[in-house]
Amino acid sequence: MPDLLDPRVRLHVVTGKGGTGKTTVAAALALALARRGRRVLLTEVEGRQGLARLFDVDPLGFTATPLVRLPDGELLGLAIDAKSALLEYLEIFYRLGRAGRTLDRIGAVDFATTIAPGLRDVLLTGKVYDAVRTRQGSRRGDTPYEYDHVVLDAPPTGRIGNFLNVNAVGAGLAKVGPIHTQAQSVMKVLRSSATRVHLVSLLEDMPAQETGDAVAELRELGLPLGTLFLNQVRPPLLAEDLLAVAAGQRWDVAALAEDLTALGVGGRHPRSRAEGLLAETRDHALRVEREEELRQGLAGLGLPVVELPQLAAGRAGLDDSGVHELADELA
């Protein structure tokens, strides 16, 4: 599993089309890292409080909050919002702590982050950058950073290129000054060997297409790609030879109807029941066939692939038990 749990990779960015379970996968990755005795910060930037719901904790804020108790290692959560990031930015770069709060009261902060959406992305990625780079002295052994790893539950693949391309955004907002410098510093980390951008997909047409588009975009931006997670993978219910028979509709409906009757499950209309069962079987076989085509296409993107099973509840992200289950898979 190249790079996935490598201690030298300090920033893991996780993206995927909406509905693929990217938040759950990001949380599972963070938990797997923390279980290795590391201090991990799991962050979100979309204002959905998905992590709080996932771990059944109070809504997260701008201060790191413990998410899971572990015998060794730590997992903390943080919700980064543009308003708090801008106020912090004004305090750090312009010493406008009290003035910044005044601007917030009159609505200027909301206005600034709404009227210049590019500024919002610079602020959000800037806070992630700070979490990656903050030093804590000799906190533990030779680890000089406050967090060994930062895992970012990033915006979906349709927006990930614009979100991470803060250099272009910063240049558009300002040619010089703190915003420009901040954007350059963030981009340097994002393009470094300490960062990996992971993608989450399903074996379905739309997520697979969007994943391919995102990979091409991220490569063009020079961002280091990591692992491709195929999430919610369902095993086939039939052996390969039976799948081929079902897909080709090479079956004897009358014989099956007789068998169902002999077993006492044919009902009043055994032929109709046999036809229904065979139609469902064919649908399953065609789905498995299409999933294999998509699997091969995604493998052609040239990324390491990790397949994660569909959770017992039928969908990812129901509760933290699913996160622990997926963390077991990653470990």
- For position 268, what pLDDT does the model report? 87
> Binning pLDDT at 50, 70 and 90, where does residue 114 land?
low
- For position 178, what pLDDT does the model report? 67
Residue listed under structure tokens 């076989």: 285
* CA distance readout (Å), 109 to 14, 46, 85, 170, 261: 28, 17, 10, 18, 72
- For position 99, what pLDDT does the model report? 45
pLDDT in tens, 207-235: 999 999 999 999 999 999 999 999 999 99
pLDDT in tens, 168-187: 665 555 555 667 777 788 89
Rounded-to-integer distance, Cα 326 and Cα 40, Å: 17
Global confidence as pTM: 0.85
- For position 300, what pLDDT does the model report? 97
* Average confidence (pLDDT) over 301-322: 77
pLDDT for 25 beyond 70 = yes
* CA distance readout (Å), 88 to 20, 120, 263: 33, 13, 72
Do residues 297 and 251 lie in contact, with contact meaning Cβ atoms separated by under 8 Å?
Answer: no
pLDDT for 115 beyond 60 = no
Q: By C-alpha distance, which of 31, 65, 29, 68 is closest to 197?
A: 29
> Binning pLDDT at 50, 70 and 90, where does residue 111 land?
very low
* Average confidence (pLDDT) over 252-280: 88
> Binning pLDDT at 50, 70 and 90, where does residue 240 land?
confident
Rounded-to-integer distance, Cα 107 and Cα 98, Å: 14
Written as six digits, the tokens of 259 are: 């068998």
Q: By C-alpha distance, which of 238, 226, 231 is closest to 203?
A: 231
- For position 181, what pLDDT does the model report? 76
- For position 311, what pLDDT does the model report? 84
- For position 94, what pLDDT does the model report? 47
Q: By C-alpha distance, which of 193, 199, 229 is closest to 215?
A: 199
- For position 84, what pLDDT does the model report? 72
- For position 117, what pLDDT does the model report? 58
pLDDT for 47 beyond 70 = yes
> Binning pLDDT at 50, 70 and 90, where does residue 133 land?
confident
> What percentage of the chain carries pLDDT values higher than 70?
79
- For position 321, what pLDDT does the model report? 78
Do residues 115 and 86 lie in contact, with contact meaning Cβ atoms separated by under 8 Å?
Answer: no
* Average confidence (pLDDT) over 19-27: 95
pLDDT for 154 beyond 90 = yes
pLDDT in tens, 73-88: 999 999 998 777 666 6
Domains of the chain and CATH, by start = 11-234+310-330 (3.40.50.300), 240-284 (no CATH)
